[in-house]
Structure 1
Amino acid sequence: MPQQIVGNSICQFACCFYKEISSESNQNVFFSPLSISTAFSMMTLGARSDTLTQILRVLSFNPRQISENEIHEGYRQLMQMINRKNNGLQLNMGNVLFVLDQLKPQERFLNNLRKFYEGEVYPMNFKRADQAQIKINEYVAGRTNGKIKDLINNLDPLTEILLISYIYFNAEWEKPFDPKYTKKNKFFVDGNKAIQVPMMFGMGLFKHGYDEELSSTVVQMDYKGGASAYFILPDPGRMKKLEKKLSCEHMARWKTLVQPRGSVNLYLPKFTLYGTYDLKNLLYTMGIMDIFTDKADLSGVTGQPQHRLSQAIHKAVVKVDETGTEAAAATGMEIVPMSVPTTINFNRAFLLVIRKDNVLVFMGKIVNPLKKN
């Protein structure tokens, strides 16, 4: 199934991209592999020769396993599934190309963009960079309910093609936390250095398990509308091991690993993360090189080979609080078996993975819950 192969490739890409970002610094990380992968797959509609080969390789596609047409069909199915209207869950995802107004994109490229990716292309006068910047930021703010503002700054007036991928997620927990139990508590940002963060508390049958190979406790929390968040807490001093060994195979195993075993006292910090990445440098290091240089062949977009992708920006937003995200708080009591509750306390750095319908939508690392980006 194209959709399954694409889903697997998104997961492989996520693990590589995560390793690329997290190797640089001990900061919060938050991105959407689904969004970035979709945006660059969309570019393959117009990429040719080495430019095309490099993108497919970094997105973890094997041309012997899946044809280009099947790749686009797989993304089309995923986009439909993701953007389906859903009670209790809102996912706004989009990819947009702003193209220098003198370049006229090819009809075939535009048709395929709409057909497979619900993608949009806007002509832009980049020479008046300050005005262009305002228009682009207003466009993205409008598409994300004002959650993503001022996405770009310092726009280069020599820009030819600008790619923006954005995603905004808003969902309610199946089992909300009661805000009256949220208290300031210690979170260790670095070995012994602790900060005070608002820590939510929940008691009940939370799905959880221990992954021996990763020396980590995994807790699954479900959202309404078919999405699930996995919070992965490595044993003290084991974050590097977790990051090194994390793979799609492990993530697939969590489904059977986590079970509602007995009563749990769960402590989880509230946080909001805005991940903004200039993809140019990151993907260049990973092997997508030509598209950003004079070697670019995007002749399927413009009809001429000498135009390049000047910039690619990605932004993802998540908010984790008592209700899940931005809904009104509700409380539910649960009858739990009589047993000594297990305590799981997310009071040090942990990873976060959000999936919907088996697709890896977000991946992140929370090092400091008080830092927004």
Structure 2
Amino acid sequence: HRNMKMLLFLCLLLVGIHSNSYCYEPYQQGVRIQNQRAQENRNMPWQSVRNSVCRFACCFYKEISTQENNGNVFFSPLSISTAFAMLTLGARSDTLTQILRVLCFNPRQISENDIHEGYRQLMQMVNRRNAGLQLNMGNVLFVLDRLKPQEKFLSNLRNFYEGEAYPMNFKKADQAQLKINEYVARRTNGKIKDLISNLDPLTEILLISYIYFNAEWEKPFDPKYTKMSKFFVDGNKAVEVPMMFGMGLFKHGYDEQLSSTVVQMDYKGGASAFFILPDRGRMRKLEKRLSCERLSRWRTLVTKSSVNLYLPKFTLYGTYNLKDILYKMGIMDLFTDKADLSGITGQPQHRISQAIHKAVVKVDETGTEAAAATGMEMVPMSVPVTVRFDRPFLMVITMENTILFMGKIVNPLKKE
């Protein structure tokens, strides 16, 4: 056996240049909302933030999937949400209200301090390095050298988000771009080398959020069983893809309400991937009904039983202009002259001109040798179910029940 590794990493870029579908419904669904509120109030800050990240993930996915109708989708809701939560440390008035609303926080239910404390706790929980799993998430702010960010903002950035702030001479755009790209390459283990191109010399504030994830399956696939096989991109059109094969005990189940088969594959170190395969012609139904309640139900829905599993190898690069997507979701002022980020610089005339999100997922066999002590697996004497991911499916990667990544694989051969 050689280990099956999954390598994911993501970078999010927000550029501040010089001088309306919301996630929560505050006034509707009376009793249920009040029950939820009572529950939220009993939650630890990290639990409330985790729940909001999940709601944001579902809203964001629905927004992108309507735009990317027939394309692959891949993003990190945790990273996007964290970067914009960092901005709320310095956002004021309507700018602040809009960001919190789109990130699915109701100010009547949770204080701003608890939001930042929740992200701090969540980052502590997910930042870890142990046998078989490496997860590293961080944030950095580059500020025009003549601008002096407020001391309170900088200390909150450090204390809550382990964020670092560096002065930068953006006027010398080529040099600045080189330094920033080198910094990001170091922090993502060389996986992202040229994050920024064509840096605007008028840039004043640049915010980068990155997440690097590298994990080995608990139950790796054996490369010698990987064979070329058909993947049906839509009803009739098929492409030939390298299809991996695994047999034995896998966690899986069938969600009747979503007409979808769910397979859970665990990584060493505590993360899990859910692969969701809708019945033929049911993808829209699945996407429409995607919710946090459904996601949490899948954990109890799946049980271990004998499966012949076919899963394609694939590499996906997701690149999104967040400005357009989040504007449609309700973050409007941040990208216009109405933006109020006075808590960062002391003056309100700074806006975010660009917000780019990049994410990569790679699923393949790597050269790492599997641990020798694999142990024999007891397989019940039942006829195995065959689950074949040979048509478009969803993928959700979680850790501590927090959604790290979410995506849709429509064509495993298309990298973009």
> Equivalents in 2 of 1:180, 1:153: separation in Å?
40
> Equivalents in 1 of 2:203, 2:320: separation in Å?
18
> Equivalents in 2 of 1:172, 1:327: separation in Å?
9
> Equivalents in 2 of 1:136, 1:100: separation in Å?
13
Q: C-alpha displacement at 1:80, in angstroms?
A: 0.5
Q: C-alpha displacement at 1:327, in angstroms?
A: 3.7
Q: Among the aligned pairs, what percent are the same residue? A: 82
Alpha-carbon spacing, 1:310–1:160, altered in 2? closer, same or farther (3 Å): farther
Q: C-alpha displacement at 1:310, in angstroms?
A: 2.5
Q: Which residue type is aligned with residue 314 of structure 1?
A: H
Query: 2:270 aligned with 1:216, yes or no?
Result: no
Mean CA deviation greater in 193-202 or 98-107:
98-107
Correspondent of 2:210 among 166, 169, 191: 166
> Equivalents in 2 of 1:311, 1:160: separation in Å?
12
What's the C-alpha RMSD, in Å, of the aligned pairs? 1.5
Query: 2:82 aligned with 1:23, yes or no?
Result: no
- Structure 2, unmatched stretches of 5+, are 1-43
> Equivalents in 1 of 2:343, 2:412: separation in Å?
44
> Equivalents in 2 of 1:314, 1:83: separation in Å?
20
Q: Which residue type is aligned with residue 384 of structure 2?
A: P
Match of 1:135? 179
Query: Conserved in 2, the CA contact under 8 Å of 1:166 and 1:315?
Result: no
Alpha-carbon spacing, 1:185–1:329, altered in 2? closer, same or farther (3 Å): farther
Q: Which residue type is aligned with residue 307 of structure 2?
A: V
Q: C-alpha displacement at 1:126, in angstroms?
A: 2.1
Match of 2:414? 371
Describe the superposition over 1:43-62 as per-residue Cα deviations: whole angstroms up to 9, x where unpaired. 10011111100100000001
Query: Conserved in 2, the CA contact under 8 Å of 1:98 and 1:123?
Result: yes
Query: Conserved in 2, the CA contact under 8 Å of 1:39 and 1:165?
Result: yes
Match of 2:369? 328
Match of 1:176? 220
Alpha-carbon spacing, 1:353–1:270, altered in 2? closer, same or farther (3 Å): same
> Equivalents in 2 of 1:329, 1:195: separation in Å?
31
> Equivalents in 2 of 1:32, 1:62: separation in Å?
22
Correspondent of 1:277 among 320, 330, 333: 320
Query: 2:340 aligned with 1:297, yes or no?
Result: yes
Q: C-alpha displacement at 1:362, in angstroms?
A: 0.5
Q: C-alpha displacement at 1:191, in angstroms?
A: 1.6
> Equivalents in 1 of 2:269, 2:162: separation in Å?
22
> Equivalents in 2 of 1:221, 1:98: separation in Å?
38
Correspondent of 1:309 among 352, 364, 373: 352
SS at match of 1:23: helix
Query: Conserved in 2, the CA contact under 8 Å of 1:204 and 1:265?
Result: yes
Correspondent of 2:143 among 99, 105, 118: 99
Describe the superposition over 1:263-288 as per-residue Cα deviations: whole angstroms up to 9, x where unpaired. 10000011122222222221111111
The runs of at least 4 aligned residues of structure 1 exceeding 4 Å deviation read 329-333
Q: C-alpha displacement at 1:320, in angstroms?
A: 1.6
Q: Which residue type is aligned with residue 404 of structure 2?
A: V
Query: Conserved in 2, the CA contact under 8 Å of 1:87 and 1:225?
Result: yes
Describe the superposition over 1:151-179 as per-residue Cα deviations: whole angstroms up to 9, x where unpaired. 12222222222222221210010111111
> Equivalents in 2 of 1:269, 1:11: separation in Å?
26
Q: C-alpha displacement at 1:329, in angstroms?
A: 4.5
Match of 1:89? 133
TM-score by length of 1: 0.96
Match of 2:117? 73
Q: Which residue type is aligned with residue 366 of structure 1?
A: I
Describe the superposition over 1:324-370 as per-residue Cα deviations: whole angstroms up to 9, x where unpaired. xx743568552211111100000111000000011011000111112
Q: C-alpha displacement at 1:91, in angstroms?
A: 1.2
Q: C-alpha displacement at 1:233, in angstroms?
A: 0.4
Alpha-carbon spacing, 1:367–1:328, altered in 2? closer, same or farther (3 Å): farther
Q: Which residue type is aligned with residue 62 of structure 2?
A: K
Query: Conserved in 2, the CA contact under 8 Å of 1:76 and 1:117?
Result: yes
May I ask how many residue pairs the two structures share in their alignment? 370
Query: Conserved in 1, the CA contact under 8 Å of 2:128 and 2:136?
Result: no
> Equivalents in 1 of 2:242, 2:123: separation in Å?
35
> Equivalents in 1 of 2:48, 2:218: separation in Å?
29
> Equivalents in 2 of 1:319, 1:214: separation in Å?
27
